[in-house]
Structure 1
């Protein structure tokens, strides 16, 4: 059966997995339930054959080279963290930073700024920022939910609009492909730059982070999480299931080691430097200019080279300078592997359910419904909402971009709608849905490196994302009628701030959890 014929039912697997995850808090079982019902539909509603097909789908979605490299990156990240914990370098650096950070607000600002500064890659930014700042935010009784939100809302939104990042090559490549097919001679990179002011959701998400950090206007489930952390010192709620859990007794720095801050800093600098070089080199630099090289860069290879090099540097530090035995180093590596086993399982099933949704035709279905109401004026808003729905359903912003570009760009061209606005709507709408989705890899990574319960992160982040997404929808509606994006952005900033104030503890208005539980 062709994917296009499944219609509304194409949304069922992702929605089932999301609802079950939020109700039961059993992420793996819920994801597999969604995969199973989708596979059952694909094989003609035979539940036994659907179970067998589910296993094959998991295998098919783990084995692509990019996914294998990302899983290996995650395992090596665990090994790196295990060795860092053994070295004591993270605690040493955290103590130096804590000496300069005096308040919770400064800790939150530091987290947000660091997440923005590492704009080369969203995965690397999430891993580094979370690893550095987690012990510091714990020291100031900042909830893990708040840390996960700060990571998720300052890494991907910034990387997605940065002109030097792992995203820019992919995004410019999609634009270029459509321009070639439509015979448009304008530079794809120039239009990419022109689309940045239209990335309303991405830009407002970052703005809201700083509004919340500077004012303390927490709302929704985040308000309760922050109140718990402030009043009880519990950065995790009782019975929480953190996606990356570490305990002091698991990896202990030997007594003879004089931990240095550079035991942590040097591997991280190596990670960033090698990743940056790898992006340029894999894209053909120095034979190509950097922008063109980034367009062709092998992202998975670059981050893999970076984390492997960081592990090598750490190994040399532990054995050569800290004088730690190989047995202890080996044990720390395996403890690091254990830390990331659950995230690896979640990522594997998240990829699979996204593939199931695509096989059922969720993209063509949403696009077909959208096309029935599109005019040139409505196009930016409809494209934004469509991209958000698809991204939420399949859990990947990049996959959503791949679905939307071949439809939305030709449609905008034929309707005479401004291309930068349409392209900006695709790119930022894909991020909006990805931000809200519990099956998104970036959401999983944020929970992982914040050490947060994954469902708690989703519940606390959604109200913030919805505020920015709702305002962005209004701005796209206005932009469709010819209003310049910069004044609209200014209006959007005001609206976001007003919404944060309205829903904050200052007025006593609280946004409920998406799904409540007895744990509240």
Structure 2
């Protein structure tokens, strides 16, 4: 049966898995149930054959080159963290930072700024910022839910609009492909730059982080989590199940090791430097200009080279300078692998259910509905919402971009809608849905490196994401109907965030339940 014929049924597997995850808090079981439902539909509604097909679908997601490289990256990240814990370097650096950070607000600002500064890659930014700041935010009784939110909202939103990042090549490539097929004689990179002011969700998500941190506001389930952490000293809820199980205390630094802060800093510098070089080199630099090289960069290869280099340098530091025995190093590596086993399982099943949804044609179904109500003024807002729904359902912003570009850009061209706003709507709408989805890889990694319960992270982040998405939709509507341009609309949007956040924080009780139930208390 062709994917286009499944219609509304194509939404069933992902929505079932997402709702069951948020209600039951059993992530793996819920995701696999959604996969089984999708596989059963694909094999003609035979539940027994659907179970066998489910296993094959999981295998197929594991052997996809990009996914397998990201899983290896995750395992090596665990190994790196295990060796960092053994070296005591993270603790030494945290002690130096804590000596300069005096308040919770400074700790949250430091986390947000660090997340934005590492704009080369969202995965690397999440890993580095979470690893550095988790012991510091714990010291100031900042909830793991808040840390995960800060990671999630200062990595992808920043990387997606950065002109030097792992995203820019993919995004510019999508624009270039559509311009080529439509015969549009414009620079894809220039239009990419022109779309940045229209990335309303991405820009508002960053703005909301600093509004909440500077003003000390929280609302919804996050307010409850922060109250628990501040008043009871519990950075995790009593029934929380953090994605990273192993704590730094589980890996003991040998007594003879004089821990240095650079035991942690040097491997991180190596990770960033090698990743950046890898992006350029894999794209054809130095024979190509840096911007051109980034367009063809092999993202998965670059981050894999970076984390492997960091591991190799850590091994040399531990054995050569710290004089740690190889047996202890080996044990720390395996402890690190244990940290990431659950996230690896979640990522694998999340990718699989996203693939099932794509096979069922969820993107085509959502787009077909959106096409029926699109006019030139409405197009950016409708495309934004459609991209958000697709991204939420399949758990990948890049996959959503690939689905939306071949439909939305030609439609915008035919209707005479401004291309920068239409393209901005696709790119930022894809990020909005990805931020809300518990089956998103970036959402999973944020929970992982924050050491947070994944369901709690999703529950506490959704109200913030929905607020930014709602304001973003209104800005697209205002721009589409000619009320103002994006440069003037963005300050209005930020003001709307400020006023709404103030009302929800100061005049709404934290006990108000979230859409998907309470987070851990």
Q: Same fold (TM over 0.5)?
A: yes
1:289-308 matches, within 5 Å, as: 289-308=289-308
Paired with 2:371 and 2:519, the residues of 1 have a C-alpha distance of 42
1:58-457 matches, within 5 Å, as: 58-457=58-457
Task: Go from structure 1 to structure 2 and tell me whether the alpha carbon gap of 1:373 and 1:148 turns closer, same or farther (over 3 Å shift).
Answer: same
Confirm or deny: 8 A CA contact 1:198 1:424 kept in the other structure.
yes
Confirm or deny: 8 A CA contact 1:169 1:295 kept in the other structure.
yes
- Report the secondary structure of 1:504's partner residue: helix
- Report the secondary structure of 1:119's partner residue: coil
| Cα deviation code 1:174-201 (max 9, x no counterpart) | 0000000000110000000000000000
Paired with 2:248 and 2:187, the residues of 1 have a C-alpha distance of 53
TM-score of the superposition, structure 2-length normalised?
0.99
Aligned residues between the structures: 520
Paired with 1:519 and 1:204, the residues of 2 have a C-alpha distance of 27
Identify the residue that residue 500 of structure 1 maps to in structure 2: 501
Identify the residue that residue 491 of structure 1 maps to in structure 2: 492
Q: Give the superposition deviation at 1:507.
A: 5.3
Confirm or deny: 8 A CA contact 1:463 1:511 kept in the other structure.
no
Matched, 1:516 2:517: yes
Confirm or deny: 8 A CA contact 1:502 1:509 kept in the other structure.
no
Q: Give the superposition deviation at 1:246.
A: 2.3
Q: For structure 2, which runs of at least 5 residues remain unmatched after alignment? A: none
| Cα deviation code 1:469-503 (max 9, x no counterpart) | 00000000111123211111011000011110111
Q: Give the superposition deviation at 1:162.
A: 0.2
| Cα deviation code 1:245-281 (max 9, x no counterpart) | 2234521000111000000000000000000000000
Task: Go from structure 1 to structure 2 and tell me whether the alpha carbon gap of 1:248 and 1:401 turns closer, same or farther (over 3 Å shift).
Answer: closer
Confirm or deny: 8 A CA contact 2:271 2:310 kept in the other structure.
yes
Confirm or deny: 8 A CA contact 1:169 1:296 kept in the other structure.
yes
TM-score of the superposition, structure 1-length normalised?
0.99
| Cα deviation code 1:202-244 (max 9, x no counterpart) | 0000000000000111000000000000001100000210011
| Cα deviation code 1:411-446 (max 9, x no counterpart) | 000000000000000000000000000000000000
Q: Give the superposition deviation at 1:505.
A: 3.4
Paired with 1:44 and 1:166, the residues of 2 have a C-alpha distance of 40
Output the aligned Cα RMSD. Answer: 1.0
Paired with 1:505 and 1:59, the residues of 2 have a C-alpha distance of 49
